[in-house]
Amino acid sequence: MKPKLTLKDISYELGVSISTVSKALKDSHEISKKTRDKIKAFAKLYNYKPNTIAKSLRQQKTYVLGIIIPEIVHHFFSTVISGIEHVANERGYNIIICVSNESFKKEALNVEMLTNSRVDGILISISKESQEKQDFEHLNELINDGIPLVLFDRINEHINCDKVIIDDIDGAFKATEFLINLNRRKIALITTPSYVTVGELRTEGYLKALKQHNIPIRKNLIIHVNEKQNIKNQILPLFNQKELPDAIFAVNEIYAATTLKIAKEKGINIPKDISVIGFTDGLISEFSSPSLTTMAQHGFTMGEQAAELLIDRIENKTKPYFETKVISADIKIRESTKIV
Amino acid sequence: MKPKLTLKDISYELGVSISTVSKALKDSHEISKKTRDKIKAFAKLYNYKPNTIAKSLRQQKTYVLGIIIPEIVHHFFSTVISGIEHVANERGYNIIICVSNESFKKEALNVEMLTNSRVDGILISISKESQEKQDFEHLNELINDGIPLVLFDRINEHINCDKVIIDDIDGAFKATEFLINLNRRKIALITTPSYVTVGELRTEGYLKALKQHNIPIRKNLIIHVNEKQNIKNQILPLFNQKELPDAIFAVNEIYAATTLKIAKEKGINIPKDISVIGFTDGLISEFSSPSLTTMAQHGFTMGEQAAELLIDRIENKTKPYFETKVISADIKIRESTKIV
DNA sequence: CTGTTAGCGCGTTCAG
DNA sequence: CTGAACGCGCTAACAG
């Protein structure tokens, strides 16, 4: 690689000192307009660009935000990143993205790598394995070291930092209530194991809605999907009971779409026989047939807010308390809940 | 932020010199086993981690690869990133991802930012705007400066560097031929404007297949979609002709799924009346109804190969010629081309 | 107005 | 076997 032009090179060429060049390029009034102009012209002509690494080392500041997400091939997470990126760029920061692949170990390694690179702050959505183990050592260490941290979507309440979450309880409540208002009473739930907090919260909203409307909770209508096994096979039992549900609330797009598939195979008409609502408004929901009614999560907004929180924290350490921003999920009505 | 432990701190605590600590931590035999062990134990105890920034500055090497993609909320591109990330980590590199948003200006800015950060190499899939303008100044400059560059998927032939592409011509050829073998003769094509190279190549494959099978090319069956306008409205005319096509080859998932939607609205039965094939094997194709037959692109493999090429180039500048790796697209047969 | 000096944290001669 | 000295490229306090 061809070495790039440095301050030293310029100072040598122009017969001035390095610090004069440095100051001139920042338009310091310490330097006479004449030399300033000369230096700036020279720098421009030869396309001088300051070395970010050296600047970072000197200023103990990188203008980089680290992001750790469980997966990147994922509509919701990539949307969040998009939001983060948007705000970060606006405020003069760059981002470096790491993937944990839902692994605790990889997540911890990512944290270490980011801190070794001296990022100014970190945004993270916790991996399933970390949640399962309830091991947040690596994150608490971050806080201990005074590195600004923001959790988004997959959070843990006991970690002492800013957070941004979707209002999962309320979203699930609204979804379930919507089904109730459709006059459905045998409403099934397809959810995650309880250690996945978002799944747990959505379950909570579902139960709350049933209770509030005096609808009995039936265990046989609730399925906890273990993603380490085949998803379809775990949902299937729901359709093998004597009495079928008349509505289904699935806590994510994949579960909802899988349900659609099973129904089609079984010759069950959706939305006539069963109404279906998913969570997360991705492409699958939009293009599935029937298209899926879902609770839209506004990932982009989540990313924006998370980035704002983090940068505020980085640039102004005086805020004395931690914030948790809640983003409400809105229903997007499509064909899978149409009244026929 | 709490300052991290440095070599200096350790040397002070242990009453040795900085360089002794530095050497000891790399297990240099210049240092006696005794002091080496003492220093290593101390470093481990207090969790010493070298400052990546300082190391990069000193060694003029960052172990970072820059990636520039047009979009991040995109199944194919995120899959490619996944592949890059996999190889990069295996070989000790980190990645920093930038999004051009299909904008020439943003792409150029990203290149600049990455070079200022002294990444060891750059992987890029060219934005539509750059392709439209045919402006690759920023990339040629990179090559001039001797910064290793790999283009993937959206490439330009005249840029002098390693490349990884999907065999778009062959993929489109196979797709079209598959439709022909289904006894379809009025095969429509939904493609991009010609400056999008991948669209252009797929068009080429389509035409080649028709010619080879002596099927006349009919202009009214070919649609070039301008993505700045409503996609659906541009596809619609295909269905308003006297004689409908009996098969459709769409150069991407969105066009194919949109076609499915229109057909459903018009009461046209897919696959009975019209067979449909898309390109890019994403979630939409899998979960649409009918599920879509597509040409699978193997984005993960593409990412892996691109990263291998780049790192090889970075670590061993002696390879005298540039390579273009071609990844073949395979057909994934689903419902939309079922014989009824 | 300009230059000297020092140092961010690390690795690498070279001298002892 | 150990340490002093230098420099990667930049900024900033201080002297002139």
Q: Is the pLDDT of residue A2 over 90?
A: no
Q: Is the pLDDT of residue A228 over 90?
A: no
More confident residue, B283 or A164: A164
- For A66-79, what is the mean pLDDT? 95
Task: Determine the pLDDT at residue B192.
Answer: 93
* Six token digits for residue A250: 């699935």
For residue A101, the number of C-alpha atoms closer than 13 Å in the C-beta half-sphere is 10
Sole residue written with tokens 């399925």 = A223
Q: Residue A69 to residues A23, A300, B76: CA-CA distances in angstroms?
A: 41, 15, 18
Over A60-87, what HEC string results?
CCCCEEEEEECCCCCHHHHHHHHHHHHH
d(CA B58, CA B195): 43
Q: Residue B62 to residues A200, B96, B123, B144, B314: CA-CA distances in angstroms?
A: 42, 11, 15, 20, 11
Chain B residues with beta carbon closer than 8 angstroms to that of A99: 82, 85
Task: Determine the pLDDT at residue B318.
Answer: 64
Whether the CB of A27 is less than 7 Å away from nucleic strand C comes out as no
Q: Cα B62 from chain centroid?
A: 22
Task: Encode pLDDT of B34-89 as tens digits.
Answer: 999 999 999 999 999 999 999 999 999 999 999 999 999 999 999 999 999 999 99
Mean pLDDT estimate for chain A: 94
Please indicate if any CB of chain B lies within 8 Å of the CB of A54: yes
Whether the CB of B217 is less than 7 Å away from nucleic strand C comes out as no
- E strands within B106-262? 121-124, 149-152, 162-166, 187-191, 222-224, 247-250
Chain A residues with beta carbon closer than 8 angstroms to that of B288: 287-289
Task: Determine the pLDDT at residue A319.
Answer: 78
Q: Which of A72-76, A211-215, A283-287, B174-178 comes out lowest in average pLDDT?
A: A283-287
* Confidence grade of residue B322 (pLDDT, cut at 50, 70, 90): very high
Task: Determine the pLDDT at residue A294.
Answer: 96
More confident residue, A51 or B243: A51
DSSP 8-class letter at B219: G
Sheet of B324-327, strands arranged across: B94-99, B64-69, B121-124, B149-152, B162-166, B324-327
Q: Is the pLDDT of residue B198 over 90?
A: no
Handedness of CA A145, A149, A154, A160 (dihedral sign): positive
Tell me the residues of chain A between 261 and 280 that have a Cβ less than 8 Å away from chain B.
261, 264
- Interatomic CA–C1' length for residue A30 and nucleotide D16, angstroms: 14
Taking a C-beta distance cutoff of 8 angstroms, is the pair A88, A122 a contact?
A: no
* Confidence grade of residue A320 (pLDDT, cut at 50, 70, 90): confident
Task: Determine the pLDDT at residue A243.
Answer: 86
Q: Cα B25 from chain centroid?
A: 39
What does DSSP say about strands A222-224 and A247-250: parallel, antiparallel, or unpaired?
unpaired
Q: Whose CA is nearest the C1' atom of nucleotide D2?
A: B20
What does DSSP say about strands B121-124 and B64-69: parallel, antiparallel, or unpaired?
parallel
- 3-class secondary structure, B162: strand
Taking a C-beta distance cutoff of 8 angstroms, is the pair A151, A161 a contact?
A: yes
* Six token digits for residue B183: 């006894």
Task: Determine the pLDDT at residue A317.
Answer: 64
CA distance A143 to chain B (A): 9
Please indicate if any CB of chain A lies within 8 Å of the CB of B287: yes
In 3D, which of A328, A339, A337 has the Cα closest to residue A172?
Answer: A328
Q: Is the pLDDT of residue A261 over 90?
A: no
% of chain A exceeding 70 in pLDDT: 99
Please indicate if any CB of chain A lies within 8 Å of the CB of B74: yes
* Confidence grade of residue A315 (pLDDT, cut at 50, 70, 90): very high
Please, which residues bridge with residue A222 across strands?
A189
CA distance A73 to chain B (A): 5
Number of H helices, E strands in chain B: 14, 12
- For B125-137, what is the mean pLDDT? 95
Q: Is the pLDDT of residue A198 over 90?
A: no
Task: Encode pLDDT of A12-66 as tens digits.
Answer: 999 999 999 999 999 888 888 899 999 999 999 999 999 999 999 999 999 999 9
| Rg of the Cα atoms in chain B | 26
The residue type at A260: L
Task: Determine the pLDDT at residue B37.
Answer: 92
Q: Whose CA is nearest the C1' atom of nucleotide C12?
A: B19
In 3D, which of A318, A306, A327 has the Cα closest to residue A162?
Answer: A306
Q: Residue B196 to residues A39, B132, B165, B217, B303: CA-CA distances in angstroms?
A: 42, 7, 14, 21, 20
Taking a C-beta distance cutoff of 8 angstroms, is the pair B329, B294 a contact?
A: no
- Residue in A closest to B258 by C-alpha: A287
Whether the CB of A105 is less than 7 Å away from nucleic strand D comes out as no
CA distance A270 to chain B (A): 13
Interchain pair B116, A51: CB under 8 A: yes
In 3D, which of B179, B192, B199 has the Cα closest to residue B247?
Answer: B179
A112: enclosing H helix or E strand: helix A104-116
Q: Is the pLDDT of residue A197 over 90?
A: no
Task: Determine the pLDDT at residue B281.
Answer: 83
Task: Determine the pLDDT at residue A242.
Answer: 87
User: How big is the A-B interface in CB pairs under 8 Å?
Assistant: 119
Q: Residues 25-54, chain A: which have Cβ under 7 A from strand D?
A: 25-26, 50-51, 54
Interchain pair B72, A50: CB under 8 A: no
- Interatomic CA–C1' length for residue B79 and nucleotide C5, angstroms: 52
Tell me the residues of chain B between 110 and 129 that have a Cβ less than 8 Å away from chain A.
112-113, 115-118
Task: Determine the pLDDT at residue A318.
Answer: 63
Chain B residues with beta carbon closer than 8 angstroms to that of A2: 144-146
Task: Encode pLDDT of B214-225 as tens digits.
Answer: 999 999 999 999
- For B195-218, what is the mean pLDDT? 94
- Residue in B closest to A92 by C-alpha: B113
d(CA B81, CA B86): 8
DSSP 8-class letter at B292: P
Please indicate if any CB of chain B lies within 8 Å of the CB of A27: no
Interchain pair B95, A95: CB under 8 A: no
Which residue from A50, A98, A289 is facing B116, i.e. has the nearest CB? A50
Interchain pair B289, A79: CB under 8 A: no
Protein-covered nucleotides on strand C (Cβ within 7 A) = 1-5, 7-13
- Residue in A closest to B74 by C-alpha: A75
Interchain pair A287, B287: CB under 8 A: yes
Whether the CB of B16 is less than 7 Å away from nucleic strand C comes out as no
Q: For Cα atoms B299, B301, B302, give the angle at the middle one, nearest 5 degrees.
A: 60
More confident residue, A318 or B105: B105
Interchain pair A2, B50: CB under 8 A: no
Whether the CB of B29 is less than 7 Å away from nucleic strand D comes out as yes
- Residue in B closest to A258 by C-alpha: B287
Please, which residues bridge with residue B296 across strands?
B330
% of chain B exceeding 70 in pLDDT: 99
